[in-house]
Structure 1
Amino acid sequence: MFDIKKQEIQWGGKTLTLETGRVARQADGAVIATLGETMVLCAVTAAKSVKDGQDFFPLTVHYQEKYSAAGRIPGGFFKRERGATEKETLTSRLIDRPLRPLFPEGFYNEINVICQVLSYDGENEPDILAMIAASAALTISGVPFMGPIGGARVGYIDGEYILNPTLDQIKEGELDLVVAGTTDAVMMVESEAKELSEEIMLGAVMFAHRASAEVVEGIIGLAEKAAKDPWELPKLDDGGDLKKKVKKLIGDGLTKAYKNTGKADRVAAIAEAKKAMHEHFADADAETRLKAAKLGKKLEADIVRTAILKEGRRIDGRDTKTVRPIESMVHFLPRAHGSALFTRGETQAIVSTTLGTRDAEQMIDGLNGLNYENFMLHYNFPPYSVGEVGRFGAPGRREVGHGKLAWRALHPVLPTKEEFPYTIRVLSDITESNGSSSMATVCGGSLAMMDAGVPLKRPVSGIAMGLILEGKEFAVISDILGDEDHLGDMDFKVAGTSEGITSLQMDIKVAGITEEIMKVALAQANEGRAHILGEMAKALDTTRSELSAHAPRIETLQVPKEKIRDVIGTGGKVIREIVATTGAKVDIEDDGTVKISSSDPEKIEAARKWIVGLTQEAEVGKVYDGKVVNLVDFGAFVNFMGGKDGLVHVSEIKNERVAKVSDVLSEGQEVKVKVLEIDQRGKVRLSMRVVDQETGAELEDSRPPREGGDRPDRAPRSDRGPRRDGGDRAPRREGGDRPDRGPRREGGGDRPDRGPRRERSEGGNDDGPAPEFAPAFLTRNDD
C-alpha cells in the first residue's frame, strides 16, 4: 500500500533518517526527518499557476510544535495549539531565510512549507530537523528549487566544537550557532556567543558548514530514490529592446538621483526620474508595464552596485569602511528606569529599560515544559520610521526576529540573577530607519541598561555589513543603508564587546559566500564595532552605581529551608500579612532565598526585620525593638523580632513601683526590651527597665540585689511588722510546733487538739467499707 523510500546517514555519532511515501502523500513533497526519538514532518505544496499581475514570490514557511510530541497538554484555557509562539515564529524564519534565495528569478508560484514536530525526546532539538525536512521535501517535490541545503547546530566547550549539542551543553558552553548551506557555500548564520573571537566564530561556521554538507549528500540520496519529475519553467526574457528603452528613459535620471546623499532628496529624485518611464508606458498592456518596472529596479541595482564595486563610492558618498555619524544620549525619558536615544545617520531608536521583580518574569510554555525568562527585549517598527503609510498593530515576524537578534547580542553580558535579582525589559521603538535598526537597538539597549544601573560585563555595539559580489570580484561595505541592503547580496550583522563577538547573523541573497568573504567581513566589522563603542562611551561609558529613584529596590536574604513555612504561614497567611502591612513585595524560593522589593527603602527594611524575626531565635541578653500588643494586670506582652511575643512583668517596666500598667504603657507603643530568660517551653521574659528607651543602650540594674530571696523593695519576711488585725506576728516556726495550734504531731499519731485519729477499715473510707457498687473515684487507697 505504501511506497516508502528511506535514506539514513551517520551524523555526529547518531543516525539521521529521512523517509517519504508513508505520510502526507497528497502533498507535492513530504518527508519525515528522525534523529534519536525526535521526529519532524514537513509537507510542501505549490500552486500550479500564478495569479494575474503577481510580481513577487509568495513563499510561506510555518513551523509548529505539537505538545503531544513531548507528552504534554498545552497550558491555558483552550488546551490546544493556537497562534504561533515566539519560538515557532523564529524557527519559521530560520527555515525561510536560507530557502528563499534558492528559487529561480521569475518563479512566482505560491508555495507552502509546513513543518510539524511529531515527537520530541528532550535531547535532539527539532528546529534543525525541520530545516532538513523542509529542504528534503522541496528537493523531491519537483518544484524549481536550486537546493538542497543542510543545517547544523554547533556548540563550543573547552576549546572544542560540538555538533548538535543538547540544551544542557548549550547552557554550559560558550556558543549556540546555527548554519545552513549548500555543498559549496554558507547561506545563513544565526548565533549567540559569550564574547568569542572572530577566529573562533569563523571556525564554528565552517565546522557547521562541513557537517551540513553531509546532510546535503543524504538528501540527494533520497531524491535519487523518490524525486518527482521537475517542473518546466518558461524561458526568461532578458528584455532586449525594452531594456534599452528603459535605460534611455531613466538611466541618466537614476544616476543623478543616486548622487543625493540625503534619503528624502534621493527618494524624490528617483520618483521624478521614473515618472518619464511611467508616462511612456501608460498606454501599454499590464504585462509590458510590469516588465518595465522590473527592468527599472534592476537598472537601479546596477547603478548602485557598479559605483561601489568599481569606484568605491556609496549612495551617501562614504567609502566602504566609514560608519555614519553617531549621536547618543542617555536619560532621555525622565520617568523610565533607564533610557537612551541612539542615532546613527538616518537610523534612530528610542530604547528604554524597565526593572521589575520576580513576578514580572515571562512564563514560557513549550515542549520542555514551563520556564521563566527574566530578560525580555521587544522591538517595534512603526511605518512612520520609513516615511510610509502602513499597517500598525501587533508585531509581525520581522519585528519578532529583529528583537530576538538584539536579545542574543545583549544576553551574554547580563549579570546573573544572584548578582542582580531583577526582571529586565528593554523596549526599542524605531523612530527612523535607513539601515540596520536591529543594531541600533543593540547599541541603544546597552546604553539604556547601563543608565538603569544594570551591571553589564561590558558595553555592546553592533554593525550591519553588506556585500556586492560579481563573479570573483567583491566589496564588503560597513554600516549599510536600506537601499544597499535591498540591492546588495548579503546582510551580515555582528554585535559584541571590546573582548569579542556576542551575536552573528548572516543572510545571503545569492547562492552562498565563501570563507574568504566571511573572514574579510568579520575583520571589517571588528573595526566598525570598536568605532561605535567609542562613540557610545561619549554618552555613558560605565554602568551607573545607583538605580533610578523610580526603580524598585530588591534586597535578598537567605533563610533556613525549615523556616520557609514560618514565613509563608498556613495558606500564605503570614506572607500576605507582611506584604499588606509593610507595602513591600516578598518572593520566597524553594532554597530559602527571599527577595524583598519596593521603591521605598523603609518598607523593605520593615519587611526584612519581620522575616528575620520569624526565622531567627531570640538571644538571652540581647536588646530588641518591640511593640506592645496586650496589657494585663501583671504586665504587658510585647511583640519583637516580627513574630515573637514576650512578657514584660510589671516589676520589669520601671525601677520604680508601677501601680497600674496602663498608666505607663499603651497598646501599639514602640518599646525597647532586653531578653532576660527563655524557658524550656519557649516562653520569653523581657525587661524594659534595664534598657534606655531612647537610645536602646543597656543600663546597669539600679535595684539592690535580693538576699535570701527577699525583694529589695520589701522588708525581710521575718521582720514584717504587726499583723493587719493589730496583733503581733509570731515568729516563723522552725520545724517544730506551731504555738497557736499546739504541738506538731509526730509520726502520724493523735492530734492533741482534735482527739485520737480514727482507724480506717482496710480498703475502705472513714465511714466503713465501700459498697460494691461505689464508683472508683469514691474509694481511697492510702497506699
Structure 2
Amino acid sequence: MFDVKKVSIELGGKTLTLETGRIARQADAAVLATYGETVVLCAVTAAKSVKEGQDFFPLTVHYQEKYSAAGRIPGGFFKRERGATEKETLVSRLIDRPVRPLFPEGFYNEINVIAQVLSFDGESEPDIVAMIAASAALTLSGVPFLGPIGAARVGYKDGEYQLNPSLDEVKTGELDLVVAATGNAVMMVESEAKELSEDVMLGAVLFAHEASKKVVNAIIDLAEKAAKDPWDVAKGDNLDDLKKKLKKLIGKDIAAAYKLTDKSARSSAINAARDKAKAFFAEEGLDAQSVMAGIKLTKKLEAEIVRTAILKEGKRIDGRTTTQIRPIEAMVGFLPRTHGSALFTRGETQAICTTTLGTKDAEQMIDGLTGLHYESFMLHYNFPPYSVGEVGRFGAPGRREVGHGKLAWRALHPVLPSKEEFPYTIRVLSDITESNGSSSMATVCGGSLSMMDAGVPLKRPVSGIAMGLILEGKEFAVISDILGDEDHLGDMDFKVAGTEAGITTMQMDIKVAGITQEIFEVALRQAKEGRAHILGEMSKALSSTRTELSAHAPRIETIQIDKSKIRDVIGTGGKVIREIVAETGAKVDIDDEGIIKISSSDINQIEAAKKWILGIVEEAEVGKIYTGKVVNIVDFGAFVNFMGGKDGLVHVSEMKNERVEKPTDVVSEGQEVKVKVLEIDPRGKVRLSMRVVDQETGEELEDTRPPREPRGDRGGDREGGRGDRNRRDRGGDRGGRGGDRGPRRDRGPRGEGKGDDDGSSAGLPDFLTQD
C-alpha cells in the first residue's frame, strides 16, 4: 500500500534516517526524519500559480513542538499547543534563512513548509533534524529549489569539537554553533560562544560543513529514489533594451543619490529617480507585467551602481572606506529612575537600552519539551516604525524582533556573572529609535553599557558589528559596519559580537550560494578590528561596572542555612516565613538547598529579616546574652522570645535580685528585655535570667546571690510527697498550693501550706524552680 523510500547515515554517533511515502502523501512532499529517538515530520506544499500583481516570494516556514513528543501535557488552561513560542519562532527563522536564497529570482509561487516534532528523546535539540527534514522535503517536491542543504550543531570542550552534542554537553561546553550549508559553501551560521578566538570559530564552521556534506549526499540519494518531476519555470523576457533605456534615463540620478550621506536626503533623491522611471513606463504604454519587471530593473540598476562603486573604487554610499566605522556616541545613566540606562548611537542607528534588576519571583517561566524551567536573564528588542521614518504596524513583536533580541541575548549571556555572584533577575530592554543598519549590534553595545551602569558585574564589556559582502565572480569586498542599503544591495549580513578576549556570538546570512573559507577569514579579521574600535568608543562613556547599585534597585542578600532548619524558617503551612515578610517588608526566597535570598530596596528591612531568620536557625549558647521580647506572662515567670523562633523561661526568681511577688510587677507583654542563657536541658528547654544582666547596657552583672544548694541533696524528700511528676500540664496552676496535695511529707518549720520550699509547682522541671 505504501511506496516507502528511505536512506540512513551515521552522524555524530547516531543514525539519521530520512523516509518518504508513508505519511502526508497529499502534500507535494513529506519527509519523516529520525535521529536517535527524535522524530520530525516536515511537509511542503506549493501553490501552482502566482497571484496577479505579486512581485515577491511568499515563503512561510512553521516549526512546532508537540508536547506529546516528550510525553508531556501542555501547561495552562487550554491544555493544547497554542501560538508559536519564542523557541518555535526562532527555529522557524533558522530553517527559513538558509533555504530562501536558494530559490531562483522571479519565482513567486507561495510555498508552505511545516515541520512538527513528533518524538523527542531529550538528548539533542530537534532543530537540526527539522532543518534537514525541510531541506529533504523541498528537494523532493519538484519546486525549483537549488539545494539541498545539510545542517549540523557543533560544541567545543577541552579543545575538541563535538558533532551534534547533547543538551548537557552544550550546557557544560564553550560553544553552541549551528551551520546550514550546501555541498559547496556555507549558507548560514548561528552561535553562542564563551569568548572563543576567531580561529576556533572558523574551525567549528568548517567542521560543521564537513558533516553537512554527508547530509546533503544522503538527501540526494533519497531524491534519486523519490523526487517528483521538477517544475517548469518560465524564463523571464529579455529586458536588455529596457535596462539600457533606464540606465540612460536615471543612471546618473541614482549614482548622485547614493553619494548623499544623509539617509533622508538619499531616500528622497532615489524616490525621485523611481518616479521618473514610472513616468517613462507610462509613456511607453507598458502592460502591468512589464511595469513590474521595469521596477525590478530599477532596483537592479541601483544595486549595480552601488556594488560597482564599492568593488572597483572602494567607495561606499556614505563616503567611508570598506573598514571604516561610523561615528559613535555613547552615554549612560541618562534616565533617572531606571536601574541602568544607555543611549548608543552609531551613525544613523540608535538604541535606548535600559536594565531592570529584580528578585527571583521576576524570573520568566518557560514550558517546553524539556520541561518547566526558569530564565533569569531576558533581553527584549523593539523596532517601532518611526525608527525608519515610516508609518506601520505598532504592537506585539514580530519574528524579526524576536530573532534580533535573541541574537543580542546570545552576545551578552556568556559574560553574565553566576547566580551566586549576582543573585538578581536581569531584564534588558532595547528600544530602537533610529535604524540605518545593524540595530541588533547597537542593542549589544547599549545593553552591555546599561548593565554596567546598573552595577551588573559583567566579565568584560561586549561590542558588536555587522559586516557586509560584495561578491562578483572571484572578486569580493568585505565591508565593515554596513548601512541598511548596503545590507539590502549586498550579498551577506554577517554579525559578530564579543569582548576583547574573544567572540560571544556570530550570525551569518548569505544571499548568494555560499561563501568560501577565504571570505570568511577576511570577514572575521576585519570584524575583530571593528569590535576593538567600538569597545574603545564605549569605554569613553563607562569603562567598568559601577560598584554601587542604583538607589532604586532592590538589594539582595544571600545566606546559607542547614537543610534541617528549612522547615523551621518556613513554619507550618508557611506561617513563619509569611510573618517574616509581613513584619519586615522584605521578600524572602528559600530553596531546597537551604539558600535564602532576602531582598528589598530598604537595607533596614533586609537586616531585620536576616536577624529574624538567623535567630530561628542559630542554636542558643549557655552563658550568652541576648535581646528578646516578652511574649507570655504566667504565674511563675515570663516566656521571652530571644532568637526569632526560640522561647525561654525567665522564672520569677530570675527577674531581680530581690524577691518578686508577681512577674507583672517587673515585665509586661511586648517589653524588650536582655537575658542570659543559664541552662538548656536535653529536650531543648531554655532557662533564662534577667537579674544578671544590666537592662540598660546589656552588660553582665556579678551574681551576688549565694550559690544554690546541690539538687542531689533534695532528691529524697521530693520522691513521694509531690504526686505524679509527669503531670506537668497542670503545674502552672499550683505554684502556691503544694502542701494541699497527696500524702504530706514532714516539712519541718516551713511546712505551713505555702507549697514546697521554692514556691513552685510540682509539675515543673527542676531547672524552673528557685532556691
TM-score (norm 1): 0.89
Cα deviation for residue 238 of structure 1 reads 4.2
Cα distance per residue 1:130-186 (max 9 Å; x no partner): 000000000010000000000000000100001000000001110000000000000
Counterparts of 2:696 and 2:464, CA distance in 1: 59
Query: Which residue of the other structure, out of 317, 321, 324, is the alignment partner of 1:322?
Result: 324
- Report SS of the residue matched to 1:551: coil
Offset at residue 654 of structure 1 (A): 3.4
Deviations 1:389-409 (A, max 9, x none): 000010000000000000000
SS in 1 for 2:162: strand
Report deviation, 1:455. Answer: 0.8
Matches within 5 A, 1:702-721: 703-706=704-707
Q: Whole-Å Cα distance in 1 between the matches of residues 549 and 217 of structure 2?
A: 56
Kindly state the Cα deviation for residue 249 of structure 1 after the two structures are TM-superposed.
1.9
What is the 5 A alignment of 1:180-579?
A: 180-282=180-282, 284-579=286-581
Provide the identity percentage: 80
Quick one: which amino acid aligns to residue 279 of structure 1? A
Question: 2:747 and 2:43 mapped to 1: Cα distance?
Answer: 113
Question: What pairs with 1:686-725 in structure 2 (closer than 5 Å)?
Answer: 686-701=688-703, 703-706=704-707
Question: Shift in Å at residue 583 of structure 1?
Answer: 1.0
Letter of the aligned partner of 2:301 in structure 1?
L
Using the alignment, how far apart are the partners of 1:224 and 1:288 within structure 2? Answer: 38
Alpha-carbon distance in 2 for matches of 1:458, 1:238: 56
Report how far residue 280 of structure 1 moved: 2.1
Q: Deviations over 1:619-659 (max 9, x none)?
A: 11112221121233433221111111112223333345545
Q: Does 1:74 align with 2:74?
A: yes
Matched, 1:42 2:42: yes
Paired position in structure 1 for 2:63: 63
Structure 2: which amino acid aligns with 1:295? L
Instruction: Go from structure 1 to structure 2 and tell me whether the alpha carbon gap of 1:346 and 1:221 turns closer, same or farther (over 3 Å shift).
Output: same
- Cross-structure match for 1:765: none
TM alignment of 1:602-681, pairs within 5 A: 602-681=604-683
In the alignment, which residue of structure 2 is the partner of 1:779?
none
Instruction: Give distance in 1, aligned partners of 2:412 and 2:505.
Output: 8
Q: Give the structure 2 partner of residue 90 of structure 1.
A: 90
The range that moved more, 466-475 or 278-287, is 278-287
Q: Secondary structure at the match of 1:196?
A: coil
The RMSD of aligned alpha carbons is 1.9
Larger Rg: 1
The one-character-per-residue Cα deviations of 1:336-357 (angstroms, maximum 9, x if unpaired) are 1111111111111111111111
State the distance in 2 between where 1:521 and 1:161 align: 22
| Alpha carbons of structure 1 residues 616 and 736: separation in structure 2 relative to 1, 3 Å | closer
Secondary structure, counterpart of 2:194 in structure 1: strand
DSSP 3-state at the match of 2:357: strand
> Offset at 1:739?
12
Structure 1 residue 567: deviation in Å? 1.2
SS at match of 1:215: helix
Secondary structure of 2:692 counterpart? coil
Contact kept in structure 1, 2:657 and 2:705, CA below 8 Å: no
Is there any run of 5+ residues in structure 1 with no aligned partner, and where?
711-734, 742-783
C-alpha separation between the residues in 2 aligned to 1:458 and 1:237? 56
State the SS of the aligned residue for 2:57.
coil
What amino acid is the match of 1:145?
F
Partner of 2:20: 20
Does residue 586 of the first structure (1) align with residue 588 of the second (2)?
A: yes
Deviation at 1:708, TM superposition (A): 5.5
2:148 touches 2:220 (CA, 8 Å); kept in 1? yes
3-state SS, counterpart of residue 466 of structure 1: strand
Shift of 1:737: 14
Partner Cα separation in structure 2 for residue 23 and residue 558 of structure 1:
56
- The answer to whether the 8 Å contact 1:628/1:666 transfers is yes
Per-residue CA deviations over 1:221-266 (Å, capped at 9, x if unaligned) read 0000000000001112341221122212211111111110011111
Q: For residues 738 and 97 of structure 1, what CA distance do their matches in structure 2 show? A: 104
Contact 1:342 1:349 in 2 (8 A): yes
Distance 1:324 1:634, change over 3 A: same
Q: Quick one: distance in 1 between partners of 2:314 and 2:19?
A: 50
Take 2:522 and 2:46, find their aligned partners in 1: how far apart are those partners? 39
Higher mean C-alpha deviation, range 103-112 or range 671-680: 671-680
Q: 1:473 to 1:739 in 2, by over 3 A?
A: closer
CA distances 1:1-32 after superposition (whole Å, capped 9, x unpaired): 10000111122222111100000001111101
The AA in structure 2 aligned to 1:151 is A
Q: 1:526 to 1:695 in 2, by over 3 A?
A: farther
Count of matched residue positions in the alignment of Structure 1 and Structure 2: 716
Checking the alignment, whether the CA contact within 8 Å between 1:674 and 1:688 is kept in structure 2 is: yes
- Alpha-carbon distance between aligned partners in 2 of 1:669 and 1:477, rounded to the nearest angstrom: 76
In structure 1, distance between residues paired with 2:697 and 2:172? 53
* 1:738 CA drift (Å): 8.7
Could you tell me how far apart the structure 2 residues matched to 1:457 and 1:656 are? Answer: 65
C-alpha separation in 2, matches of 1:4 and 1:698: 91
CA distance change for structure 1 residues 242 and 651 in 2, over 3 Å: closer, same or farther?
same
- CA deviations 1:477-534 (Å, max 9, x no partner) are 0000000000000000000000000000000000000011000000000000001111
Q: CA deviation at 1:597?
A: 0.8
The alignment status of 1:118 with 2:126, answered yes or no, reads: no
Q: State the distance in 1 between where 2:621 and 2:665 align.
A: 29
**CA distance in structure 2 between the partners assigned to 1:186 and 1:445 by the alignment:** 30
Aligned-pair distance for 1:312? 0.7
Measure, in 2, the Cα distance between the counterparts of 1:268 and 1:491.
25
In the TM superposition, what is the alpha-carbon distance from 1:379 to its structure 2 partner?
0.5
User: 1:348 and 1:8 mapped to 2: Cα distance?
Assistant: 50
SS in structure 1 at match of 2:426: strand
CA contact (8 A) 1:35 1:124 kept: no
Deviations 1:541-598 (A, max 9, x none): 1111111111111111111111111111122111111111111111111111111111
Residue identity matched to 2:706? P
Cα deviation code 1:266-322 (max 9, x no counterpart): 111111222211222235432222112111111111111111111111111110111
8 Å Cα contact 2:170/2:176 also seen in 1? yes
For structure 2, the residue ranges without an aligned partner over 5 or more in a row are 712-744, 752-771
CA–CA distance in 2 between the matches of 1:737 and 1:72?
Answer: 78
SS in structure 2 of the partner of residue 281 of structure 1? helix
Could you tell me how far apart the structure 2 residues matched to 1:709 and 1:568 are?
42
Give the secondary-structure state (helix, strand or coil) at the position aligned to 1:395: coil
Deviation of residue 612 (structure 1)?
1.4
The amino acid of 2:26's aligned partner reads: Q
Q: For residues 61 and 676 of structure 2, what CA distance do their matches in structure 1 show?
A: 73
CA distance in 2, matches of 1:287, 1:123: 52
Instruction: Give the letter for the 2:280 counterpart.
Output: H
Letter in 2 for 1:71: G
Mean CA deviation greater in 141-150 or 334-343 = 334-343
Distance 2:559 2:636 in 1: 38
State the Cα deviation string for residues 737-767 of structure 1 (Å, max 9, x = none): 99999xxxxxxxxxxxxxxxxxxxxxxxxxx
**CA distance 1:57–1:740, change in 2 (3 Å):** closer
